[in-house]
Amino acid sequence: MKHFFEYLLFRLGVLLVGHLPFPLLYGLSNAVSFLLHRVIRYRRKVVTDNLRRSFPEKSEAELAGIRKRFYGHLGDIFLEGLKGLYISKAQVLRRYRFLNPELVDQYYDQGRHVFAMPAHYGNWEWGVLSFALQVKHQVIGVYKPIHNPLVEGFMARRRSRFGLQLAPFYETRQHMENPPATPALYIMMSDQSPPAGKKPIGWNFSTRTPPASTERTIGDENSTTRRCSWISNG
């Protein structure tokens, strides 16, 4: 019963936000950003600490300005994520364009699979949606399922409506060891936390040394790395 009520509330919120015209959406985003920043103060201490460490040369006034813009961006990302569940193909392609799809398409022509590792930067939900519309490969997104099965089912249907195939993260190895006959492009976000039990390695990122891990269990020495570019416009 709890899952059902959560699902109803979620669907109501998505229905209202998902059909808002973009000018109204970003107007609402300003209100959400204000609530997160000034009222709820969502993770404000963490944000402030990270900014101080990343930009030690900046004054408190400058950091406050960056923090305000961050919360503005966070509000946009939150509402854009809900809007993305009902966004049309034309709308998403106007906002996310793959600048050099030929770098990926050449591997499709060779019958080779591709592994893409973007980050949670910009609106990644829109980016993944548009990926399936702009490359030849069968795009497979590795993701973490939502605990509520009703919400999960709805989200899976909406996310896959443009051709994206979803793969729960705990099935990643099975998918890669038994790939589809058609060349596939696997998308996995590269900025996740290392799994528990793995010994992390340190690497410098914006004056910090966050934990990271790397391991090769699938693939070979002939794997090729290429950098692809996107342009987004919310």
Buried b (16+ CB within 10 A) or exposed e, 68-80: eebbbebbbbebb
Instruction: Give the C-alpha separation, 171 to 16, whole Å.
Output: 34
Would you state the pLDDT for residue 122?
81
Q: Tens digit of pLDDT for each residue in 106-156? A: 999 999 999 888 888 888 889 889 989 999 999 999 999 999 999 999 999
Residue 5 phi, psi (nearest 5): -65, -40
User: pTM for the complete prediction?
Assistant: 0.79
Q: Indicate whether 221 pLDDT > 80.
A: no
Task: Say if CB 199 and CB 130 are below 8 A apart.
Answer: no
Domain boundaries, the chain: 2-83, 91-232
Name the DSSP letter for residue 37. I
Task: Point out the least confidently predicted range of 33-47, 161-175, 179-193.
Answer: 179-193
Would you state the pLDDT for residue 197?
59
Task: Say if CB 89 and CB 162 are below 8 A apart.
Answer: yes
Would you state the pLDDT for residue 52?
96
Would you state the pLDDT for residue 205?
56
Instruction: Give the C-alpha separation, 153 to 95, whole Å.
Output: 26
Residue predicted with more confidence, 19 or 218: 19
Q: Tens digit of pLDDT for each residue in 83-95? A: 999 999 999 999 9
